Structure 1
Amino acid sequence: MLNDFWSRLLERMFQLLNSQYTFTDDYLECISKYTDQLKPFGDVPRKLKAQVTKAFIAARSFVQGLMVGREVANRVARVNISPACSKALTKMLHCPYCGGMPELKPCANYCQNVMRGCLANQADLDPEWNLFIDAMLLVADRLEGPFNIEAVMEPIDVKISEAIMTMQENTVQVSEKVFQGCGRPVGVGRSARGISDVFNSRFRPYSPEERPTTAAGTSMDRLRIVWRTMQHSVIDIKEKLKQSKKFWSSLPDVICEEDKVTDPDEEQCWNSHTKGRYFPEVVKDGLTNQLNNPEVEVDITRPDTFVRQQIMTLRVMTNKLRNAYNGKDVYFQDSSDEESGSGSGSGFTTEPVVVHTEPPMVEADISEPQPAADTARGQTPQVQIVIAITVLVSLVLQWR
């Protein structure tokens, strides 16, 4: 767009500065081809293009990052639970009733071990998620600072004026180079030409009456209004992003919150066998730390493929955000490529990926839960609803 603007401006200025000649449309096209070679406007076009490009790349990358974060969160929230997790949840939530102690809530550490085992794969998202959030915050800082579109566009009229004066100062040199490349045009004779003769059907003279007369004012005024609104949104989004750091590793803490799910009294809670203190240590987050989880059997040698795909999606987006932060161009896959599944894989897709795995692997929840034969599996739909609601509520609180 900017390249086309400077080419058209060169054509118009060249006619004004060489009004003693007649220029055909073909000749004007020839002039525009020499824009980069002639550099009639000095260094202004290059600098302006660099500033505008960086600002729009940052804005586009930031919006794209929000979309990726939302999609990853929605997909991971739909991940199904393993039979081992279902069994552990059933034992934690229902066994007190079977033992005649329905008033007992699980011990806090007991709940932590169960949920860290159930959400082991999700917790592995945390490192890449945190890097993604950091990259989003960096780009947001750029949008508030040097890549602020309003700051870039504000002096654009001055820059264009400077470019025009540069061409006027170099009229003779520019004209001679054009004549050498495109040939010398036909003169108009001795009769004086009016300004209306200079502009052929290719251009229309500027008319102030054609400028917008709405309450929003000119196009530049509307752009400023839109950008200022976006600036306020960026500030709000930055706060939400900061709150979402360590989201996945903190899920067990959110789910096992005291007074809601667990009992703060360590002596008056369900410890997986009876009422009393829960003695086993709480395992750390992540798949590799579940080897000695006393409550959930987790195969640490089989990481969930679907979650690993989301980690890669975040990694790709993080790299693009870092490039945008440094002012480098960012490639985004076209939506048509995403829908057809074509492309090199450097972009991201917004369609859910179907991944089939075998128990005890976690798989994408793409169908209705099927009833199972044994008692533990018979509880699976209910337990899944508890987990799904808790995770989705947490996501809504973070991203709304």
Structure 2
Amino acid sequence: MLSAGCEPVENIERWCRNTTTILIKYYKGGAVVERAVMILFGLSLMLIFDSGASSSADTATHQGTCSAASEYFQSLGYAKSLIGEQVAKGSICEENSCCTDALEEKLTSDSMLKLDNYLKDVVLRTASILETRAKRFDEFFRNMMTKSKKDFHDMFKKTYGVLYLQHAYVFSDLFSELEDYYSNGQVALSETMDKFFSILYQRMFTVINAQYRYEDEYLVCVQKYMHDLKPFGDVPQKLSIQLTRSFVATRTLHKTLSKGAASAEKMLEIKMNEDCGKELVKMQYCGTCKNTRGPGPCPSYCTKTLQNCLVHFLTISDSWDYYVESIDKIAERLLGPFNIEAVVEPINIKISEAIMNFQENGATISEKIFVSCGKPSLERRRRSANPEKPRTRAKDELATYPVLNFNQKKKHKKTQSQANISTLEKLIRDIKQKVKETKLFWRQLPYQYCNEDNMTASPTQEGSCWNGTTIGNFSLANLQFEPPPSPQILTEQLNVMQVLTQTLQTAFQGQEVLTEQLNVMQVLTQTLQTAFQGQEVDLPETDEEEDIASGSGSGERGLIDQEDGDVDPEGGLFEPELPETTTRRQETILHESEAPPRAAIPTDRSAAPQTFNRAIISYVLPILLIWFGSAFADLL
């Protein structure tokens, strides 16, 4: 009788029978034992009931009508015909699935499309952050250059008059070279500044000694002694260093922002493969197909699935983060010692200071040149004495204009361009902040995607969520996904990021490294070796972006903007109204191939001391001649 309650269910009958046997064996007729037997009998009935209920639930799950799954997928917009009425074996969800092969195929394509759309949205948003800042920075720079050119022209025209207008093209060419470097990069700024001061040196020498006639060979000889005589003092060296490092940093920031945005967009060409789509279906929908979805996919399961799908995007994450850090560093330099506005805005004052230095030492310099190169013949055409006054007035203005120095730079900035400085600082700080926010962007993509639309269970439900096979904790063993091999696009963008980062690090110290003839690997090696040494780096413009990305070709050609002819629409510079009788001189000869043998330059100690009268004659006579020429030009 004690075992009677155990008969209905075979799987626990043995347990009941064994228990009854044990109780009978130790039964001694006591009431307590009899009560224990009754309690065990009741427990046996409960086990029988629970087992039967569980068996009925399993039968409903695996042999039911899939009504719950059908209702869920229809709510998502899928046709009822795609959902099976009875559980069956699917190609993705495998055994006991309510999802037909047709539904699984549709879920796969839709899951891949959803992920592609998500990537397109967030990547283009990030690229837009960089591109927008690049355009704003470019607009500010061009407006600043336009203003600087106008200020330069107005000041020099007012101060030096026709003397400046006759040689305005020398300064116009300088601004054109600076703008060309910013737009195209194929200009060595140090050579540009050397050329400018060489031409200015020759022009100043001929103006101070206007009574002579000069042949090209003689000007070559004059040119040879420029670096020894230092007619402009230390202005050329200081200005060249300041312009070089500021323009390098400015151009590098603009170009790397633009190219970083283009590189991010290029990553969108990497498409998800079908294996990724199947894993997304298994993670998101197979729990529902099996009627065991629970609260949703485990968070760690979703994250790991997306990391496998986006493995190529994660690969570029470290390179991107280094690039972001380098952007931040170069932007910080532009707020400090590489401030482009602090160099470009007062360039008129700095060049005027150089002219004043030459004017103060003009007689001494001329005498040394005459000793080394000989005296040229006097100009044959003679003019009457009276018309010399206007030219002398222009020379007097040159002589009386106050000598300026670099210590006045800060005062000049504060009094004339406080608003612009605030605009530049605000612009750069915005660049720093927004670009820094993109750090870890690629690495966070899987987490951000899994957090979309409550896709997964909450972290507190990690042990009771869908893990890919059943309800429980997620294990990596549940994943069968093998990431595909790296596509060519990924390799290309890794190269681009590396070159951009090295370029930024090089510009961080103002390096000047021309790389037109180097291939990508040589560029990387060169910039690594010369990083943080204060030289210039070049980013030439071309359309052959694939060359640098693949490591072939020359120079940094793959980093080129698609901006052919992207130059200032204003042109090279102002075109002052030159007098009709003024013609542009033949380009200054800078070659030394036909120069006469170089003679020793006499120093102040070896030179014969000048008498007072001789000094007056050698210094005043050129002024009178300049005055005469200016008067004649004004009359014309």
The TM-score normalised by the length of structure 2 is 0.44
Q: What are the ranges of 5 or more consecutive residues in structure 2 without an aligned counterpart?
A: 1-173, 175-192, 399-414, 512-535, 563-636
CA contact (8 A) 2:267 2:313 kept: yes
Q: Which one of the candidate residues 462, 481, 496 is aligned to 1:297?
A: 481
CA contact (8 A) 1:333 1:347 kept: yes
Which residue matches 2:554? 344
How far does the alpha carbon of each residue in 1:101-129 deviate from its partner, in whole angstroms, 9 at most, with x for none?
68853221110110111112221212221
CA contact (8 A) 2:329 2:508 kept: yes
Structure 1 residues 183, 278: CA separation in 2 closer, same or farther (over 3 Å shift)?
A: farther
| Residue range with higher mean Cα deviation, 12-21 or 122-131 | 12-21
How far does the alpha carbon of each residue in 1:118-155 deviate from its partner, in whole angstroms, 9 at most, with x for none?
11222121222111111111100011110001222354
Indicate yes or no: 2:467 matched with 1:257.
no
**CA distance in structure 2 between the aligned counterparts of 1:277 and 1:81, rounded to whole angstroms:** 28
**CA distance in structure 1 between the aligned counterparts of 2:507 and 2:560, rounded to whole angstroms:** 21
**CA distance in structure 2 between the aligned counterparts of 1:195 and 1:260, rounded to whole angstroms:** 87
Indicate yes or no: 2:518 matched with 1:326.
no
| Residue range with higher mean Cα deviation, 330-339 or 147-156 | 330-339
**CA distance in structure 2 between the aligned counterparts of 1:338 and 1:185, rounded to whole angstroms:** 57
Secondary structure of 2:275's counterpart equals: helix
Which residue matches 1:48? 239
Q: Which amino acid is the alignment partner of residue 256 of structure 1?
A: C
Q: What pairs with 1:52-67 in structure 2 (closer than 5 Å)?
A: 52-67=243-258
| Residue range with higher mean Cα deviation, 309-318 or 265-274 | 265-274
Q: Which one of the candidate residues 262, 277, 283 is aligned to 1:86?
A: 277
Structure 1 residues 150, 136: CA separation in 2 closer, same or farther (over 3 Å shift)?
A: same
Q: Which amino acid is the alignment partner of residue 184 of structure 1?
A: P
**CA distance in structure 2 between the aligned counterparts of 1:163 and 1:177, rounded to whole angstroms:** 19
Secondary structure of 1:159's counterpart equals: helix
Which residue matches 2:363? 172
Q: Taking CA–CA contacts closer than 8 Å with sequence separation of 6 or more, which of the two structures ends up with the larger relative contact order?
A: 1
Which residue matches 2:492? 309
How far does the alpha carbon of each residue in 1:278-318 deviate from its partner, in whole angstroms, 9 at most, with x for none?
332xxxxxxxxxxx674252258x44443132112111111
Which residue matches 1:124? 315
**CA distance in structure 2 between the aligned counterparts of 1:308 and 1:340, rounded to whole angstroms:** 12
**CA distance in structure 2 between the aligned counterparts of 1:227 and 1:12, rounded to whole angstroms:** 34
Structure 1 residues 351, 175: CA separation in 2 closer, same or farther (over 3 Å shift)?
A: closer
CA contact (8 A) 2:541 2:560 kept: no
How far does the alpha carbon of each residue in 1:324-351 deviate from its partner, in whole angstroms, 9 at most, with x for none?
0011011213225548888325343469
The TM-score normalised by the length of structure 1 is 0.67
Which residue matches 1:273? 469
CA contact (8 A) 1:133 1:241 kept: yes
Q: Which amino acid is the alignment partner of residue 428 of structure 2?
A: V
What is the percent sequence identity of the aligned residues?
A: 35
How far does the alpha carbon of each residue in 1:63-95 deviate from its partner, in whole angstroms, 9 at most, with x for none?
111122112211223311133212101222332
Structure 1 residues 44, 70: CA separation in 2 closer, same or farther (over 3 Å shift)?
A: same
CA contact (8 A) 2:296 2:457 kept: yes
Structure 1 residues 351, 61: CA separation in 2 closer, same or farther (over 3 Å shift)?
A: closer
Q: What pairs with 1:63-212 in structure 2 (closer than 5 Å)?
A: 63-100=254-291, 105-179=296-370, 180-181=372-373, 184-187=376-379, 191-192=384-385, 194=388
CA contact (8 A) 1:123 1:249 kept: yes
How far does the alpha carbon of each residue in 1:192-218 deviate from its partner, in whole angstroms, 9 at most, with x for none?
46265689xxxxx9xxxxxxxxxxxxx
Q: CA RMSD in A?
A: 3.7
Aligned residues: 319
**CA distance in structure 2 between the aligned counterparts of 1:94 and 1:198, rounded to whole angstroms:** 92
**CA distance in structure 2 between the aligned counterparts of 1:123 and 1:17, rounded to whole angstroms:** 66
Q: What are the ranges of 5 or more consecutive residues in structure 1 without an aligned counterpart?
A: 200-204, 206-220, 281-291, 353-400
**CA distance in structure 2 between the aligned counterparts of 1:164 and 1:351, rounded to whole angstroms:** 38
Select the structure that is richer in helix: 2
Secondary structure of 2:540's counterpart equals: coil
**Larger gyration radius, structure 1 or structure 2:** 2
Structure 1 residues 195, 321: CA separation in 2 closer, same or farther (over 3 Å shift)?
A: farther
Secondary structure of 1:266's counterpart equals: helix
